[in-house]
Amino acid sequence: MDSKLPSSVRSTLLELFGQIEREFENLYIENLELRREIDTLNERLAGEGQAIDGAELSKGQLKTKASHSTSQLSQKLKTTYKASTSKIVSSFKTTTSRAICQLVKEYIGHRDGIWDVSVARTQPIVLGTASADHTALLWSIETGKCLVKYAGHVGSVNSIKFHPSEQLALTASGDQTAHIWRYVVQLPTPQPVADTSQQISGEDEIECSDKDEPDIDGDVSSDCPTVRVPLTSLKSHQGVVIAADWLVGGKQVVTASWDRTANLYDVETSELVHSLTGHDQELTHCCTHPTQRLVVTSSRDTTFRLWDFRDPSIHSVNVFQGHTDTVTSAVFTVGDNVVSGSDDRTVKVWDLKNMRSPIATIRTDSAINRINVCVGQKIIALPHDNRQVRLFDMSGVRLARLPRSSRQGHRRMVCCSAWSEDHPICNLFTCGFDRQAIGWNINIPALLQEK
């Protein structure tokens, strides 16, 4: 139906729908504030032992009655306004988001699910993917062509990260090792990018089975150069290495393993510098600070830890406790903030100077996988078990949801996301169990204006 309307009419409708949506969101927020005020008032009344409805009550009776009435009122507010808000917001949010978040390119060639996606930080800028098919692939972002295949691991490749200044890649694997390997790529001539924004007539929430996944006639990566031998193999772990990252400067790397430890290695000598112990269960992720010698590790023990290597003589550790289930990832942002995501369906924003409580909490309807933050614009991308990818700001306000239908978007669980703030065509990448990575163009000025 959209295609039958003039573009000016469509633009006007989108603007009106956006205004309606914002009004409902403001109404819902106002009622949440009202609920908090009611809770505060009843607590104060209960503490002072005052009467309600003209009757003198004991503290115990008063607290019970106040709690009951508050619960009824707050539940009514929440049910009434959240139900109406979510119904209308979900109807129109996808319409506006589709114009702001456009699928640009699909990267298809892996033979199994893709665990991780990363973007090179130096020229030439390429996309890297790590897969359960035991390989890592490098791609031309513009053409979607596979440029290099790394086949040095004998287990699932669980993560991939690029060196900050050289053409080196770091991969972590289920074979209990992490590899550092060199790549040389020749970028193909870019082709015009097809406009995919008009391919969807609506946001069809259609459940797709495995047979709907991209058809792969043979291994498309078989004709690209293959690297089979790493420059360095790091072998100190006794379990699956689930993630690895470069420390600032690229002279050291950190790895996270299911053996409940994280290891710090010297790149030049391959020697183990420190073994970081303390987590009670398997590690799920590790991340390094872009400008300081700081590391965060997350774990199934519901915590994440901050390791400080800035002082060579002191290696301090701080434990963050705020989730009730596995912390699937924790990543640094600008300044002194860390963002953590969990299987408890929440994302929390923390100030490293105050570990007691998060400064913002985002509640969702599905478990969170490896998150990524657009540092320059402070936008968080949340990949979910339910195949959704949502965008939030650092204060917890939802900005958009990436389009997903029977013909566009991921068809199975989305495992990871990665921002590329400098690329002119694609500035967000996602990957998942449907064996493909997707490049998106996010119109960030329009996205922030929508907020």
Q: Is 52 helix (H, G, I), strand (E, B) or coil?
A: strand
Place of tokens 């029977």: 406
Helix (H, G, I), strand (E, B) or coil at 220: helix
Which residue is listed with tokens 């400008």?
291
Say if residues 427 and 440 touch (Cβ distance below 8 Å): yes
User: How far is the C-alpha of 353 from the C-alpha of 425, rounded, in Å?
Assistant: 37
Closest CA to 244 of 175, 162, 348, 333: 162
Backbone angles phi, psi at 379, to 5 degrees: -115, 130
How far apart CA 283 and CA 304 sit, in angstroms, is: 9
pLDDT tens string for the chain (451 positions)? 445 677 777 777 877 776 786 676 667 666 766 766 777 676 666 665 543 343 444 444 444 444 454 455 555 555 544 444 444 444 444 445 667 899 999 999 999 999 999 999 999 999 999 999 999 999 999 999 999 999 999 999 999 999 999 999 999 999 999 999 999 998 877 655 555 444 433 333 434 444 455 555 456 666 789 999 999 999 999 999 999 999 999 999 999 999 999 999 999 999 999 999 999 999 999 999 999 999 999 999 999 999 999 887 777 899 999 999 999 999 999 778 999 999 999 999 999 888 889 999 999 999 999 999 998 889 999 999 999 999 999 999 999 999 987 778 899 999 999 999 878 889 999 999 999 999 999 999 988 887 6
Instruction: Give all strands of the β-sheet with 283-288 in edge-to-edge order.
Output: 283-288, 294-299, 303-311, 314-321
Q: What is the DSSP string of 173-218?
A: ETTS-EEEEE----PPPP-PPP--TTS-SS-------GGGSPP-SS
Architecture of domain 111-184+220-450: 7 Propeller (2.130)
